[in-house]
Amino acid sequence: MTSPRNNQKHAGEACLDAGQRAGQDRMQQLLADLEHMRHERDRWQQESDQLFEAMFHQNTAPKLLIAIDTGQIIDANDSALAFYGYSRPEIEHLNIGDINTLDDDALRQELQLAHCAERRFFRFQHRLASGELRDVEVYSSPMMRNGCQLLHSIIHDVSERTRAEVQLAALKAEYDLMAVAFHTGQGVMIVNRQQIIERVNDAFTTITGYAHQTVVGKSPQLLQSDQHDGVFYQRIQFTLSVSGYWEGEYWYRDHNGELLPLWQSISTLTNDQGEIEHYVYVLHDIRKQKALEEELKHLAEHDRLTGICNRTRLSRLKERAINDLERYDTPFSLVMLDIDCFKHINDEYGHDVGDTVLKALTDVITRQLRDSDEVGRWGGDEFMLLAGHTCLDGAITLAERVRASIEATPFEVIGKVTVSLGVAEVQRGMTLAESVKAVDEALYRAKRRGRNRVESFPMAPDAPAGT
């Protein structure tokens, strides 16, 4: 008969065995989690600059940025400083060859393998500041930063495998940080090697209007606009194949079919064999920036009082027309006009009334123009008309139509207004300054001959008596 004491002993041994098995299961689970989180870390290794800075400097795993061409250490996070035992100024004056125990030729070959993404995982011995050697596993991937080709290296000290839980905590912290990054204000889209969207974040939906369930499982071509040609997409693919990273202005169409300007970066994530597994798209909405640029461009090229072209834009349009004349023999003429006795209007009625007259006059002129014509305020009460595809006779006809229309229009407060107009056809070989001088001479001839008339340069031989 078994004694109670023996029963207790067997029960204790069973509990001990169960505890050991539980511990082993826990360790296996931790190691499995470690492998999983390493995979997740690789998926998110490339990010935008802001997110990268956070992940690089706040991570508890030692990290280095290394210049591929020279091996110079460009940057190190605090964990790397603590691990190697160097201060920041000291480590930034080191070459990776000062830490890695490989000879120069072997180290150069390893750097080249990492640069070409032919390998991502390396085993080395690294020398600490104290002279102690540590066995390390290094996960490296090429990246572009500030125009330089760098290696982003994550160093794991494998000399003390018993500290697996610490390593696990470091990787989990990085995974959590990446998860936070996925939920930032920048849109994120993850595409697999078959060009199928696997995941998008909430910011992507906010920016594009496409819900998660609408785009997952579809091709990114769903978003493409007609703003880019085939060469544009070929350049992106070539850049990704060479450096694994591309960024630039990219135009999509949103869920409503509206054009959507973005600043977009694309990063490739590769496996240990260097094969691309995923593409990570980071999208920044620049619609407000584009609207501001258009507004600033409009203000720079248009008169604030009348809303028509200003002198700067008119000069640019005339230069373009001169180029077309020289290349394609496309005729065009200039019409310059100003208001007769405008100084008297300002002196008698005030500048506010004068401004009202200028705006009303602009409306009258604009109604007489054709699609090929452009009008701008040259300065003060002077206006310039660019009559496209028009020879001298046609420009004289246009000028007379404008003159008569203004004369027939009653203006608020002051009543009748008249204008004098000069017309000149721009000839091949004329410069911009010469064309302005010609039409200016014609205008002042109209002034000298009694105002409220049209004169041309050279003077039309059979011009109507009223002009």
Q: How far apart are CA 208 and CA 96, in angstroms?
A: 44
Among 238, 269, 290, which residue terminates a domain?
290
**Same domain assignment for residues 327 and 251:** no
CATH number assigned to the domain comprising residue 248: 3.30.450.20
**Same domain assignment for residues 423 and 316:** yes
What is the total count of domains within the chain? 3
**Same domain assignment for residues 170 and 251:** no
Give the Å distances, CA to CA, from 320 to 75, 88, 326, 398. Answer: 50, 56, 10, 21
Asked which of 11-15, 42-46, 82-86, 183-187 is least confident by mean pLDDT, the reply is 42-46
User: For residue 8, is it within any domain?
Assistant: no
- Domain extent for 280: 187-290
**Same domain assignment for residues 285 and 307:** no
User: For residue 192, is it within any domain?
Assistant: yes
User: For residue 427, is it within any domain?
Assistant: yes
User: For residue 159, is it within any domain?
Assistant: yes
Which pLDDT score, from 0 to 100, does residue 172 have?
67
**Same domain assignment for residues 54 and 139:** yes
**Same domain assignment for residues 115 and 158:** yes
Average pLDDT, the chain: 84
Which pLDDT score, from 0 to 100, does residue 387 have?
95
Helix axes 342-349, 351-367, angle to 10 degrees: 140
**Same domain assignment for residues 152 and 207:** no
- Beta strands 419-425 and 454-457 are parallel
Note the pLDDT tens digit of each residue in 146-156.
778 888 888 88
User: For residue 295, is it within any domain?
Assistant: no
Q: How far apart are CA 155 and CA 346, in angstroms?
A: 78
CATH number assigned to the domain comprising residue 418: 3.30.70.270
User: For residue 416, is it within any domain?
Assistant: yes
Note the pLDDT tens digit of each residue in 222-267.
888 888 998 999 998 898 888 888 999 999 999 998 999 999 999 8
Which pLDDT score, from 0 to 100, does residue 13 have?
60
User: For residue 12, is it within any domain?
Assistant: no
Number of neighbours of residue 416 by Cβ within 10 angstroms: 11
User: For residue 32, is it within any domain?
Assistant: no
Span 345-356, mean pLDDT?
93
